[in-house]
A and B are shown apart, each in its own frame.
Chain A
Amino acid sequence: MAGSTHTLENLANREYEWGFVTDIEADQAPPGLSEDIIRLISHKKSEPGWLLEWRLRAFRRWLEMPEPAWSMVQHPPIDYQSIVYYSAPKQRKAPESLEEVDPELLRTYEKLGIPLLEQKRLAGVAVDAVFDSVSVATTFKQELEKHGIIFSSFSEAVQKHPDLVRRYLGSVVPYSDNKHACLNSAVFTDGSFVYVPKGVRCPMELSTYFRINAENTGQFERTLIVADERSYVSYLEGCTAPKRDDNQLHAAVVELVALDHAEIKYSTVQNWYPGDAEGRGGIYNFVTKRGKCLGKRSKISWTQVETGSAITWKYPSCILQGDDSIGEFYSVALTANRQQADTGTKMIHLGKRTRSTIVSKGISAGRGVNTYRGLVKIGPRADGSRNYSQCDSLLLGDKCAAHTFPYLEVKNPTATVEHEATTSKIGEDQLFFCQQRGISPEDAVSMIVNGFCKQVLRELPMEFAVEAQKLLGLSLEGSVG
């Protein structure tokens, strides 16, 4: 018994492979947060006055807001004054094309497995890479422009499409939503912006790869995706960070807006540095993600695979405002060592006959703590709405924990709400069964975990599913024998 438990722990506590640091000179603001810093960020980005005003309103609100205290996560108080709120790789001028981007930067992305040039040529994935706070390259822009699709860094969108940005910024996640979203609204430095025009089906997966490089920097990116009537877009987001002993704060905001008959599919593979076995270092991933199905028969689907971060605090949610709109949430969250995750979703049914599906798979290993927290709210007007929730937890070893908090608020008697939950352990029996058939314990665990997550992984686009499996320690690489 001791043998296989040991194996489980080894697997769960494997080394972080993406912990290298890129040596690039950065243009940094001094640490600390004040109205001056916000003015500096806004000035660096040559922002219009309304945006600066919005940031300052958010900042003033943030000063009064308490930290959210209702989740299961535990951490020492965050020293907001020690964080650098603006860090940009130094460059002579803004890159016009990929060829002008600092090769060191591109090599970093290659190490991460996202060679932009290669992808540009082969995969047909358009990538907007955010390095620390600034978007370094947006590939495939011209191809997308042919279809009228806007896919750019947030800063560029503010300059080129201020009306669209102004109309939708904060329309799904108001700056006052919560402490972390509020901070983001005040200090966000970049992110991605997508607009898909009426009737356009985006011909490729859009992808952003976030990476936190500089020490003591927070990453506060902001993503805004607007899918106009009858359009479709699939968006992928991946994240890594170098190994540091200090905790780094990542407080992002993602807003999605789907108009009539539009569909947005948003997939995340999050592999921020999780900290070491003793819980030193790692990213605090405090993210607010929300989509609004504004139009009738619109659909928003969140798929996330969360394997990194010291603490994950995120609840990608759907506001189902349009009649017959659909919200989906598929999640795999893995916590090992001393990682903590408090994650789940909110499905807010406002329109008639709105439907939502929640499939959450939590995997806890080592001393990891995994919490599912979900709210299904059916409003008084949401006649005939339906929700199905399934929350499964898998425990590896006996020092980890899993919690499930499903909240239901049903204000319409015609609604149907179903909830199923299971908790299981990777049994010694399952492991022994596989071993008895000649399969190594490492392969057996990855097989079992893979099987457990299958329902979620199959929602991911192909290339991403492969990466996700790797991150879950599921690939057969590095196995014994």
Chain B
Amino acid sequence: MNAPLLEIEDLHASAGGVEILHGIDLVVRAGEVHAVMGPNGSGKSTLAGVLAGKPSIEVTRGKVSYFGRNLLDLAPEERAREGIFLAFQYPVEIPGVSNMYFLKAALNAGRKHRGQEELDAIDFLTLVREKMELMQIDEKMMNRSINEGFSGGEKKRNEVLQMAVLEPRLAILDETDSGLDIDALRIVSNGVNALRSPDRSMIVITHYQRLLDYIVPDFVHVLASGRIIKSGGKELALELEERGYAWIEGAAGR
């Protein structure tokens, strides 16, 4: 078995003084895709936030190691440069900052960190064009301000484009399927699938089984009230779809 890339042990976390995660254990190895499912308010986004280092979330107990290092010691930008990528559920708008400029700055921050040479405008453009095609994003969109006036689908495609360019080791997709119509869902999923590789892991957070028809996970975890109450293979997602979360919450003795 591969060495673990991410190990979460007894993770407790709060936001605004209220504990949301009550002890999460999860091991993700290189190349694996883990789906995390669960009802609203179960703590899915909080988990994503902890991994990315969201400042408003406080870890109160437990350990998270990433390639054997204590992840919680790293600032959010250090985690990003070390290969952690979060595709946001609600990508923010930044008026006046072009998408292209931002992405280049992000890529070069990571390259600099890894001791690689920063890409100049031409090399960057060559790289990004190829990924733009994959995500069906045109140059006009790249020259607009980050996410400003983007439709829901455009925002999500833009997130996956950033992921494709930054080539993370661990990608966390936080409800990337929410608000997508079927065509956009297909584009986004294709983009994500193109990035699957033996040394890249993914945590796919979703509400619905639908996404998992496109991005087929190796493991499915069900999160409820801040705990993982059931884990299984991809068939668990289908079972959930059929029987609803109430079934599993009942089965977990709640």
Contact = CB atoms under 8 A, between A and B. Distances in A.
Given A435-B76, A437-B166, A447-B102, A481 B113 contact: yes
Interface in A350-377: none
B109 A436 contact: no
Interface in B195-244: none
A438 interface: yes
Q: Does more than half of chain A's interface fall in helix, strand or loop, or is it mixed?
A: helix
A428 interface: yes
A454 B79 CA distance: 30
A1 B77 contact: no
Contact of A452 (B77, B79, B96): B96
B251 interface: no
Contacts of B53: 435-436
A453 interface: yes
A48 to B, nearest CB: 51
Contacts, number: 83
Contacts of A437: 80, 102-103, 106, 109, 162, 166
Given A3-B55, A436-B80, A451-B145, A430 B109 contact: no
B54 interface: yes
A430 B75 contact: no
A432 interface: yes
A4 B86 contact: no
Contact of B55 (A428, A448, A450, A455): A428
Contacts of B75: 3, 435
Interface string B86-103: 101001101111000011
A1 B55 contact: yes
Given A428-B55, A436-B86, A437-B80, A452 B95 contact: yes
Interface in B59-99: 75-77, 79-81, 85-86, 88, 91-92, 94-97
A441 interface: yes
A439 B166 CA distance: 12
B56 A435 contact: no
A310 B96 CA distance: 28
Nearest to B88: A433
Interface residues of A, number: 28
B77 A427 contact: no
B106 A439 contact: yes
A429 interface: yes
A447 B105 contact: yes
A448 to B, nearest CB: 6
B142 to A, nearest CB: 15
Contacts of A440: 77, 109
Most buried by A among B53, B55, B162: B55
B92 to A, nearest CB: 5
A47 to B, nearest CB: 48
B153 interface: no
Contacts of B191: none
A99 B86 CA distance: 60
Given A435-B75, A443-B105, A452-B96, A428 B56 contact: yes
Contacts of A455: 96
B55 A432 contact: yes
Contacts of B94: 430, 433-434, 447-448, 451
A433 B92 contact: yes
Interface string B133-171: 000000000000100000000000000001000100000
Interface string B107-128: 0011011000000000000000
Interface string B37-50: 00000000000000
B96 A438 contact: no
A438 B109 contact: yes
A430 B93 CA distance: 7
18 contacts: A2-B55, A3-B75, A428-B55, A430-B92, A432-B52, A432-B54, A433-B92, A435-B77, A436-B77, A437-B103, A437-B162, A440-B77, A443-B105, A448-B97, A450-B96, A451-B94, A454-B96, A455-B96
